[in-house]
Amino acid sequence: MGTAPAQLFPEFIVDTLGLDSVIGEVAASLVAAFVVGNIILAFTGVAGPWAKRKITAAFTDRIAVDRIGPYGLLIIPAAAVQLLAKELIIPEGVDRPSWDIAPILLPASALLGFSVIPMGQLGPINLQLADPEVGFALVFAFASIASVSLVMAGYASNNKYSLLGGLRAVAQNLAYEIPLIVTAMSVVIFAGTLQMSGIVGAQTETLVAVAGVSIPSWYAFVNPFAFVLFLTANMAEIGRNPFDIPEAPTEIVGGYQTEYSSAYFVLFYLGEFVHIFLGGAILAVTFLGGASGPGPESIGFIWFVVKIWGFFLFTQWARAALPRVRIDQLIEIGWKGMLVLSFANLVLTAVIVGVIA
């Protein structure tokens, strides 16, 4: 990196407020986590009731939510009140407490992933909560807790459609987690570190300069093949079209979320959106240079937001345009196609890096 790495967010709070006791550090960490968590939840709040509808409407030649407030933005509080005010229906025979834990686990696991994501600077603040040396491994670990939640929901609902959805979720996650991580490993070989800031830092150099415009060495440019692989596996990992098989409303009526209503339903939706954003964040950090972009480093956060919203837009585009694959086809693509390709990519990268570097 050009300048010295900025302080992590919690350290920044400690320094600014002069809290040097243990309690002070804990408090600062909690405050920082609260701020970051709320940023993500705010994204979700905008995305779920408003942006998603607007985007889908634009893709399908319609007009969506434009009655309440400017550009229909006040639909967000209206939808929140409406969803939370609904009756929570608890079906007979559900397996509690796992039925109650599942909807909390999904957004929690996705939010946890953001603890190590370097979201870039906003003014003097560097929005990253922690930067452990194994951060890259950690973020995948957090993200994959989500499938536990889906299985829990599917099994505990005591509904056959939910069960099918839960089973599909496991099969899908197994088939795509491995290509996802193996492809990510090829980036680690390039960067030589598992630390998130290190991976971002390794992408700041200029790859080529064409007519005064310098193209940074983002791994999407360095290894576009791995980028496409990762993008595909990522779509399957977060369960979006053409891989929205665990939900598949026209087949299994929403799968694991069939029996959930009211606040629990909101939590599941929240979790899915946070998961999309986490998927976008991982993609941005791994292949799109994290928070880097034109302009000073202090507006990096804005570039980061642009990137994850770009990914969100991409998922919605896929949703409007692409058919859903069948479960057996999905498994086949995962185990017979993606896995082989991702290992080929890994070996090739290792050879190239080993020979050149």
Partner 1 sequence: MSLERPDTVDDGAVERTPDELEALLGDLVVDRDDHLNAPGFVIRPDTVQETLRTLKEQAGYDHLSVVSAQEYENRYESIYHLKKYDDPTQEVSIVVPADKDDPVSESAEPVFRTADWHEREAYDLIGIEYDDHPDLRRILLPETWQGHPLSMDYDKDRPQIATLPEHANPLEDHHKDAESDTMFLNIGPHHPATHGVLHLKTVLDGEQVADVEPDIGYLHRSEEQMAQSGTYRHQIMPYPDRWDYISAGLLNEWAYARAAEDLADIEVPEYAQVIRTMGAEMCRIAAHMLALATFALDINGDFTATFMYAINDRERVQNLLEDLTGQRLMFNYFRLGGVVWDLPEPREEFFSDTRDFLDQLPESIEEYHNLITSNEIFQMRTIDTGILPPEVAKNYGATGPVARGSGVDYDLRRDDPYGYYDELDWDVVTEDGCDNFSRLLVRMREVEESAKIIEQCVDLLEDWPEDERNIQANVPRTLRPDDDTEIYRAVEGAKGELGIYIRADGTDKPARFKIRSPCFSNLQTLPEMANGEYIPDVIAALGSLDVVLGEVDR
Rounded CA separation 206/240 (Å):
33
Count of residues near partner 1 by CB under 8 A: 30
Rounded CA separation 100/90 (Å):
10
Query: Among 61, 87, 92, 205, which residue interacts with partner 1 (rule: CB under 8 A)?
Result: 61
Query: Could you tell me which stretch among 173-181, 247-255, 289-297, 349-357 binds partner 1 (CB under 8 A)?
Result: 247-255
Of 261-320, which residues contact partner 1 (CB under 8 A)? 316, 319-320
Contact criterion met (CB below 8 Å) for 272 and 315: no
Burial environment of residue 158 by CB neighbours within 10 A (0 to 12, 13 to 18, 19 or more): middle
Query: Among 51, 119, 252, 276, which residue interacts with partner 1 (rule: CB under 8 A)?
Result: 252
Minimum distance, C-beta of residue 317 to partner 1, in the bound complex (Å): 9
Minimum distance, C-beta of residue 192 to partner 1, in the bound complex (Å): 38
Rounded CA separation 196/231 (Å):
19
Rounded CA separation 169/176 (Å):
11
Q: Is the peptide bond before 294 cis (omega within 30 degrees of 0)?
A: no
Rounded CA separation 195/114 (Å):
14
Decide: is 336 part of the binding site for partner 1 (CB under 8 A). no
Decide: is 251 part of the binding site for partner 1 (CB under 8 A). yes
Number of other CB atoms surrounding residue 293 within 10 Å = 17
Decide: is 105 part of the binding site for partner 1 (CB under 8 A). no
Minimum distance, C-beta of residue 73 to partner 1, in the bound complex (Å): 21
Rounded CA separation 119/202 (Å):
16
Token pair 């302080």: residue: 7
Decide: is 51 part of the binding site for partner 1 (CB under 8 A). no
Query: Among 13, 248, 283, 346, which residue interacts with partner 1 (rule: CB under 8 A)?
Result: 248
Binding mask 160-189 for partner 1 (x = CB under 8 A): xx--x---x---------------------
Query: Among 250, 294, 355, 357, which residue interacts with partner 1 (rule: CB under 8 A)?
Result: 250
Minimum distance, C-beta of residue 74 to partner 1, in the bound complex (Å): 23
Minimum distance, C-beta of residue 255 to partner 1, in the bound complex (Å): 11
Minimum distance, C-beta of residue 105 to partner 1, in the bound complex (Å): 25
Query: Could you tell me which stretch among 145-153, 195-203, 211-219, 325-333 binds partner 1 (CB under 8 A)?
Result: 325-333
> Encoding tokens for residue 71?
């550009």
Contact criterion met (CB below 8 Å) for 297 and 129: no
Rounded CA separation 226/288 (Å):
12
Query: Among 104, 189, 253, 302, which residue interacts with partner 1 (rule: CB under 8 A)?
Result: 253
Residue 64 phi/psi, 5-degree rounding, is -120, 175
Decide: is 93 part of the binding site for partner 1 (CB under 8 A). no
Rounded CA separation 222/152 (Å):
40
Minimum distance, C-beta of residue 325 to partner 1, in the bound complex (Å): 6
Which positions lie near partner 1, rule CB under 8 A? Answer: 56, 59-62, 160-161, 164, 168, 241-242, 244, 248-253, 316, 319-329
